[in-house]
Structure 1
Amino acid sequence: MSYKIVVDSCGELKPEQKSDIHFASASLELDVDDYHVVDDESFDQKEFLRRVKESPNCPKSTCPSPERYMTAFEGEAQNVYAVTLSSRLSGSYNSAELGKKLYLEENENKNIHVFDSKSASIGETLIAMKIQECEEAGMEFQDVVKEVDRYIETQHTFFVLETLDTLRKNGRLSNLKALVAGALNIKPVMGSTPEGAICQLSQARGMNKALEKMVQEVVAKTKNCEEKILAIAHCNCPQRAALVKEKLEKAANFKDIFVLDTAGVSSLYANDGGVIIAC
């Protein structure tokens, strides 16, 4: 075991990654009023979404502590990589960096690098896959870091939400705009900036038209689709995700497309019915 990849729990691990000794997860924690849950295998999406819907308050997430990352860095692996959700959206990156600093004070012979995904959810999943690809190809540690940094610079993230409630509750959208959008059934097509912040790309009336616009945005912004793996994450809407996958397969010739259900943190922000794409 020469390498280890630690992904914070905003990143959805594929089933084969969960059973792979090279992967580990650093769990965030979630709160809805007095309901507290750790974002790990015990996460109950149905119960969490029910509580979010019923609460007038904004659900909150807490990033993994530096100590949690230090524990994840332990083991025999010489090369350790951490992948965190965007530093513009969470303190997970800074926590991982502090955990790295503290860990290396007593373990100088290990290589550790923390990647700011500048994304979230399955964007992190794809970055973890890229790290493993480089390691399995026999690349040196510093070369892996450079190659993955280049990959992150070219990656794009897109999403469409069924409801704007969570964005409204956490202050990312005014109450008036949220109410007007809800009344008119307007669905914004959102994306990430190169720095990892959230931006609006376009909008449409109705979910189906918004998903169609998102597919168009993906194809327009993705170069060399045949060389790219595309990932779709959905929050409790597998049929919607399957429809998006079908549209993408018709619109472009991607190397591969896979679909995952959102874990805890992504479920918090995507909310029931949200769809996320990364490539």
Structure 2
Amino acid sequence: MSYKVIVDSCGELTQNMKKTGRFFTAPLVLEVDGHQIVDDESFDQADFLRRVAKSSECPKSSCPSPESYMEAFRGEEDHVYAVTLSAELSGSYNSAVLGKNLYYEEYGEKKIYIFNSRSASVGETLIAQKIAECEEKGMSFQEVIDTVEAYIDGQNTYFVLESLETLRKNGRLTGLKALAATVLNIKPVMGATKQGVIIQHGQARGIKKALVKMVDKVVEELKNPEEKILAISHCNCRERAEGVKKMLLEKVNVKEIIILDTRGVSSLYANDGGVIIAV
């Protein structure tokens, strides 16, 4: 059986994933001061961050259209999977479901399944890798779905950002109590619930202490670490991400740690200097 995995562009793809020809991106569109940027292979992070720094307005993102998902589902593959941003944070999941329905109306039945990552960024990356791992083991379509949904249930996402303003202004922090004043240089340690809603785990004064707290939280909640692949994404701060990796390896023995640069959507919300962990 042949398969393909479509990941909305909040999820980063590793070089190895790109080489297989199995993984495809459904790009979101970013907007800064009326200027639209398609979050595809042409995305220029440095240019984007410059535009955001100069702008007085909050950048925005819009999800892929149902029609673009419908087109992405086309092809010779027997099994097609999509992995989207948390449905609690974006319309990407609903758009993919509508795209699947459009595909059925236009082209007839096909085995298509859409995973709500209940995460973002490298959380989506790890889910996409899990799908491929299951397919390569020769699992049936339903077995892949059941195994990956169980994997999503057990996955955790954490992040520390220099600023939460973009998330706040775009309404992604609903339900959170007022966050500590930035003038005190308080950096919250954030995460996601099992439903994919953003929560606060703790806080610390200064980014370095916040990263230590995040690492401690990861280690505290990590079960069967030697079986786990852990992923770190960073927005324009490779050294900081490497420091987080080093801290993690000093405290826990995991199967593998991968580090990736944030793509456009993750860069928009993580802002310059943000670090995200998924496991």
Query: Could you tell me whether the CA contact under 8 Å between 1:84 and 1:124 is conserved in 2?
Result: yes
SS at match of 2:277: strand
Offset at residue 173 of structure 1 (A):
6.4
- Tell me what 1:76 maps to: 76
- Note the aligned Cα RMSD (angstroms): 1.6
Q: Distance in 1 between matches of 2:44 and 2:33?
A: 16
Q: Distance in 2 between matches of 1:99 and 1:109?
A: 13
- Tell me what 2:200 maps to: 200
- Tell me what 1:58 maps to: 58
Could you say if the C-alpha distance between residues 157 and 51 of structure 1 is closer, same or farther in structure 2, counting changes exceeding 3 Å?
Answer: same
Q: Which amino acid letter does the alignment assign opposite residue 133 of structure 1?
A: E
**Per-residue CA distance 1:25-53 (angstroms, 9 max, x = gap):** 10000001121100001111111112212
Q: Which amino acid letter does the alignment assign opposite residue 202 of structure 2?
A: S
Query: Could you tell me whether the CA contact under 8 Å between 1:57 and 1:169 is conserved in 2?
Result: no
Q: Distance in 2 between matches of 1:236 and 1:166?
A: 17
Matched, 1:241 2:215: no
- Tell me what 2:271 maps to: 271
Q: Distance in 2 between matches of 1:141 and 1:168?
A: 38
- Tell me what 1:13 maps to: 13
Q: Which amino acid letter does the alignment assign opposite residue 190 of structure 1?
A: M
Q: Distance in 1 between matches of 2:123 and 2:135?
A: 19
Offset at residue 172 of structure 1 (A):
5.2
Q: Which amino acid letter does the alignment assign opposite residue 119 of structure 1?
A: S
Query: Could you tell me whether the CA contact under 8 Å between 2:173 and 2:198 is conserved in 1?
Result: no
- Tell me what 2:250 maps to: 250
- Tell me what 1:169 maps to: 169
- Aligned-residue identity in percent: 63
TM-score norm. by structure 2 comes to 0.96
Could you say if the C-alpha distance between residues 213 and 81 of structure 1 is closer, same or farther in structure 2, counting changes exceeding 3 Å?
Answer: same
Q: Distance in 1 between matches of 2:77 and 2:225?
A: 34
SS at match of 1:40: coil
User: Where in structure 2 are the equivalents of 1:84-99 lying within 5 Å?
Assistant: 84-99=84-99
Q: Distance in 1 between matches of 2:77 and 2:167?
A: 39
SS at match of 1:105: helix
SS at match of 2:159: strand
Query: Could you tell me whether the CA contact under 8 Å between 1:181 and 1:187 is conserved in 2?
Result: no
Q: Distance in 2 between matches of 1:185 and 1:40?
A: 34
Out of 82-91 and 48-57, give the one that drifted further.
48-57
Could you say if the C-alpha distance between residues 250 and 69 of structure 1 is closer, same or farther in structure 2, counting changes exceeding 3 Å?
Answer: same
Could you say if the C-alpha distance between residues 98 and 248 of structure 1 is closer, same or farther in structure 2, counting changes exceeding 3 Å?
Answer: same
Could you say if the C-alpha distance between residues 261 and 255 of structure 1 is closer, same or farther in structure 2, counting changes exceeding 3 Å?
Answer: same
**Per-residue CA distance 1:218-260 (angstroms, 9 max, x = gap):** 0111111111100000000000000000001111011100100
**Per-residue CA distance 1:40-77 (angstroms, 9 max, x = gap):** 01111111112212222211101000111111111110
Q: Distance in 1 between matches of 2:100 and 2:167?
A: 32
Offset at residue 164 of structure 1 (A):
2.8
Q: Distance in 2 between matches of 1:272 and 1:90?
A: 21
TM-score norm. by structure 1 comes to 0.96
User: Where in structure 2 are the equivalents of 1:117-196 lying within 5 Å?
Assistant: 117-171=117-171, 181-196=181-196
Q: Which amino acid letter does the alignment assign opposite residue 154 of structure 2?
A: T
Query: Could you tell me whether the CA contact under 8 Å between 1:87 and 1:116 is conserved in 2?
Result: yes
- Tell me what 2:110 maps to: 110
Q: Distance in 2 between matches of 1:256 and 1:144?
A: 22
Query: Could you tell me whether the CA contact under 8 Å between 2:172 and 2:198 is conserved in 1?
Result: no
Query: Could you tell me whether the CA contact under 8 Å between 2:28 and 2:63 is conserved in 1?
Result: yes
Would you identify which runs of 4 or more consecutive aligned residues in structure 1 move more than 3 Å?
106-109, 171-174
Out of 6-15 and 43-52, give the one that drifted further.
43-52
- Tell me what 2:226 maps to: 226
Query: Could you tell me whether the CA contact under 8 Å between 2:89 and 2:172 is conserved in 1?
Result: no
Offset at residue 106 of structure 1 (A):
3.6
SS at match of 2:20: coil
